[in-house]
């Protein structure tokens, strides 16, 4: 996660540096106009940089609209102990995915402990032959 954040910060600063600080006039060193350099660029020309930076800047808005991650388990609500049902129906929220996974694992253990399968034992009877 730290590497991703560092990459995003690095990308933002580097690309914005190119965008704001590269001269757009005539290049005396290469003897080329800005328009000519934009035409011959293979990767990021100015238009592509604007589009890329706009997408990068707008992408966190998806999390603003719905920042939740819903995960549905195969646990039936009828099997859950009654003391836990209100928290589930209130759509309990967690600070992290690992916290939610721990909660579900604990819930599964509680459900398994209360819903042990019933087994029936087969009995065999022998009767004396009829006379």
Query: Tell me, what's the pLDDT at 95?
Result: 83
Q: What is the pLDDT of residues 6-45, one digit of tens each?
A: 887 887 788 777 777 777 777 777 788 878 877 777 776 7
Helix (H, G, I), strand (E, B) or coil at 42: coil
Query: Tell me, what's the pLDDT at 131?
Result: 56
Query: 27: number of CA atoms within 13 Å, CB side?
Result: 13
Two structure tokens written together for 123: 């009995």
Query: Tell me, what's the pLDDT at 117?
Result: 59
Rounded CA-CA distance 41/35 in Å is 10
Identify whether residues 13 and 56 lie together within a single domain.
Answer: yes
Residue 17 maps to a domain: yes
Domain of residue 47 covers 7-64
**According to the per-residue pLDDT averaged within each range, which of 60-64, 102-106, 113-117 is highest?**
102-106
According to DSSP, residue 96 is labeled S
Residue 115: closest CA among 90, 81, 82, 84: 81
Give yes or no for a contact between 104 and 71, defined as CB atoms under 8 angstroms apart: yes
Count the domains in the chain: 2
Rounded CA-CA distance 113/121 in Å is 21
Q: Is the pLDDT of residue 122 over 50?
A: no
Residue 37 maps to a domain: yes
**Rounded to the nearest 10 degrees, what angle do helices 2-21 and 46-58 cross at?**
140
Give yes or no for a contact between 108 and 75, defined as CB atoms under 8 angstroms apart: yes
Residue 130 maps to a domain: no
Q: What is the pLDDT of residues 54-103, one digit of tens each?
A: 887 787 777 677 666 666 788 888 888 888 888 888 887 888 888 888 98
Mean pLDDT value across residues 92-116: 84
Identify whether residues 55 and 72 lie together within a single domain.
Answer: no
Residue 129 maps to a domain: no
């Amino acid at each position: 996660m730290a590497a991703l954040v560092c990459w995003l910060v690095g990308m933002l600063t580097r690309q914005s540096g190119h965008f704001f600080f590269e001269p757009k006039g005539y290049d005396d060193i290469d003897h080329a106009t800005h328009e000519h350099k934009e035409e011959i660029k293979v990767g990021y020309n100015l238009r592509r940089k604007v589009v890329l930076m706009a997408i990068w800047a707008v992408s966190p808005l998806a999390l603003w609209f719905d920042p939740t991650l819903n995960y549905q388990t195969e646990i039936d609500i009828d099997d859950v102990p009654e003391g836990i049902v209100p928290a589930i129906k209130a759509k309990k929220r967690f600070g992290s995915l690992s916290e939610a996974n721990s909660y579900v694992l604990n819930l599964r253990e509680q459900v398994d402990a209360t819903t042990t399968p019933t087994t029936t034992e087969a009995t065999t009877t022998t009767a004396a032959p009829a006379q």
